[in-house]
């Protein structure tokens, strides 16, 4: 029997890896779960919703720690785990510091690594920072690559990864989305959802905004806020902005967008509440990778406030529009979307059909790992 360890540390990783945990449980395949708690509070919300209990909790979150401090802490703590227990395979996800450092620690101990959401690239190591370099490093370490799309697979082939080590799976975030929508449709609710239902005027068009990327700190976020303010004046909409906890985001957003009648600055939402709100939105303005993948399944267009994206499939399919942080571009594309329902076509989601986790688990079952 293979000894499998899944490891993640942030909310987005937890959402996407939860689907694999559920698929392993469904197939009655034992595994252990390690969390670094790179994002403590937001991670715990996801663990509770998906009923996941970690076997190892490194609790690495520290106030104002640098990426280097976090990296060294994860490496050191993973060494202790691998000294106590031998695993045949470690699954990591995406592009976080957790993923890269766990993969490196496993490599140092001679343990095979499988990379979920492998092969995404901008080939600009500063955009997104530090994610782009993280995923390239993790890709070099990994023995197996679960690519969400054919383009991601081609990126890996271009980097001389053997085709036999790559499986195109779709993205597990779609699995998690469908699971969550089903729970909501079957009566799931919570305090966040009930409060939003009372607070927001859903008879109007809803513009949902998120932002957290490090490369946009400073002038980038200021420009996005200027655009949002102008949109609030020009359109009869409700703008809902769950504001990321990072002070580099909060300080700018609250300074520029507080006390505007149709702009609702709220605390970050737990995952099911955010899915509930996404489904009620007419437009999303965001720099999130996960939202670019989820929104097409809800037929909601996304304006991507980044200069580059590793998710070109959505751009090509006209599910998303890359607008950067140029206020004029954001304002103009918002006008087009709000005034023309045909401006963006989200009929087919290029990121998957909800069976990615099953594809991954079957690969693990059927291959000598």
User: Does the annotation count 235 as an active-site position?
Assistant: no
Q: For position 346, what pLDDT does the model report?
A: 58
User: Does the annotation count 185 as an active-site position?
Assistant: no
Q: For position 217, what pLDDT does the model report?
A: 75
Residues 47 and 130 in one domain: yes
181 found inside a domain = no
Residue percentage of the chain with pLDDT more than 90: 82
Provide the number of structural domains found in the chain. 2
Residue 190 has pLDDT above 60, yes or no: yes
179 found inside a domain = no
Q: For position 344, what pLDDT does the model report?
A: 57
User: Does the annotation count 117 as an active-site position?
Assistant: yes
Residues 133 and 160 in one domain: yes
Residues 78 and 10 in one domain: yes
Residues 246 and 271 in one domain: yes
146 found inside a domain = yes
> HSE-up of 110 (CA within 13 Å, CB side)?
3
Q: For position 131, what pLDDT does the model report?
A: 93
SS3 readout for 100-166:
HHHHHHHHHCCCEEEEECCCCCCCCCCCCCCHHHHHHHHHHHCCEEEECCHHHHHHHHHCCCCHHHE
345 found inside a domain = no
Q: For position 324, what pLDDT does the model report?
A: 94
More confident residue, 33 or 216: 33
**297-318 residue pLDDT tens:** 999 999 999 988 889 899 998 8
Structure confidence at residue 369 as a pLDDT band (50, 70, 90): low
Catalytic residue among 131, 270, 312, 333: 131
65 found inside a domain = yes
Q: For position 343, what pLDDT does the model report?
A: 56
| Ordered strands of the 237-242 beta sheet | 263-266, 237-242, 205-209, 283-286, 302-304, 320-322
Q: For position 345, what pLDDT does the model report?
A: 57
Q: Please provide the average confidence, as pLDDT, over all residues in the chain.
A: 93
Catalytic residue among 77, 95, 293, 294: 95
**36-60 residue pLDDT tens:** 987 787 889 999 999 999 999 999 8
Residues in CB range of 233: below 8 A, 6 or more apart: none
**119-171 residue pLDDT tens:** 999 999 998 899 999 999 999 999 999 999 999 999 999 999 999 999 999 99
Residues 56 and 23 in one domain: yes
The token duo for 198 is 């009372």
Catalytic residue among 40, 244, 279, 335: 244
Tell me the torsion sign for CA atoms 45, 50, 55, 60. Answer: negative
Q: For position 247, what pLDDT does the model report?
A: 81
Give me the CATH number covering residue 110: 3.40.50.2000
Query: Which structural domain, as residue segments, surrounds residue 166?
Result: 4-171+353-366
Q: Between vectors from CA 300 to CA 294 and to CA 303, what angle results, nearest 5°?
A: 90
Say which range, 10-19, 191-200, 284-293, 341-350, has the weakest mean pLDDT. Answer: 341-350
Residues 195 and 256 in one domain: yes
136 found inside a domain = yes
347 found inside a domain = no
User: Does the annotation count 150 as an active-site position?
Assistant: no
Residues 109 and 255 in one domain: no
**CA–CA dist 189, 78 (Å, integer):** 37
User: Does the annotation count 212 as an active-site position?
Assistant: yes
231 found inside a domain = yes
Q: For position 238, what pLDDT does the model report?
A: 98
**CA–CA dist 302, 284 (Å, integer):** 5
Residues in CB range of 158: below 8 A, 6 or more apart: none
**CA–CA dist 240, 133 (Å, integer):** 32
Catalytic residue among 117, 215, 310, 333: 117
Residues 327 and 360 in one domain: no
Residues 197 and 167 in one domain: no
Residues 201 and 74 in one domain: no
Is there a contact between 232 and 309 (Cβ–Cβ < 8 Å)? no
Residues 140 and 219 in one domain: no
User: Does the annotation count 131 as an active-site position?
Assistant: yes
Q: Which helix (H) or strand (E) holds 230?
A: helix 219-234
């Amino acid at each position: 029997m293979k000894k499998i360890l899944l490891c993640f540390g942030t909310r987005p990783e937890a959402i996407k890896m939860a689907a694999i945990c559920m698929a392993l449980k469904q197939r009655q395949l034992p595994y252990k779960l390690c969390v670094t708690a790179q994002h403590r509070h937001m991670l715990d919300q996801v663990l509770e919703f998906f009923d996941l209990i970690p076997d190892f909790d490194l609790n690495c979150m520290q106030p104002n720690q640098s990426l280097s401090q976090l990296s060294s802490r994860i490496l050191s703590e993973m060494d202790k785990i691998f000294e106590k227990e031998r695993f045949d395979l470690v699954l990591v996800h995406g592009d976080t510091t957790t993923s890269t450092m766990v993969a490196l620690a496993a490599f140092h101990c001679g343990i095979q690594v499988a990379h979920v959401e492998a092969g995404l690239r901008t080939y600009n190591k500063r955009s997104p920072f530090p994610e782009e370099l993280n995923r390239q490093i993790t890709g070099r370490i990994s023995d197996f690559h679960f690519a969400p799309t054919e383009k991601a697979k081609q990126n890996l082939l271009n980097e001389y990864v053997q085709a036999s080590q790559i499986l195109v799976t779709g993205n597990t975030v779609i699995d998690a989305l469908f699971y969550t929508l089903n729970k909501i449709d079957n009566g799931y609710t919570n305090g966040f959802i009930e409060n939003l239902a009372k607070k927001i005027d859903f008879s109007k068009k809803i513009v949902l905004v998120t932002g957290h990327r490090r490369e946009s700190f400073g002038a980038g976020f200021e420009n996005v806020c200027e655009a949002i303010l102008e949109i609030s004046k020009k359109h009869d909409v409700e703008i809902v902005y769950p504001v990321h906890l990072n002070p580099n985001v909060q300080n700018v957003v609250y300074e520029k967008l507080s006390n505007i009648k149709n702009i609702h600055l709220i605390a970050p939402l737990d995952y099911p509440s955010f899915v509930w709100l996404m489904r009620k939105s007419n437009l999303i303005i965001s720099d999130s990778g996960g939202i670019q993948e989820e929104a097409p399944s809800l037929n909601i267009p996304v304006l991507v406030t980044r200069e580059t994206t590793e998710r070109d499939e959505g751009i090509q399919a006209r599910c998303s529009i890359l607008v950067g942080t140029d206020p004029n571009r954001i304002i103009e594309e918002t006008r087009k979307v709000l005034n023309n329902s045909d401006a963006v076509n989200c009929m087919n989601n290029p990121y998957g059909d909800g069976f990615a986790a099953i594809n991954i688990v079957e690969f693990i079952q059927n291959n000598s790992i």
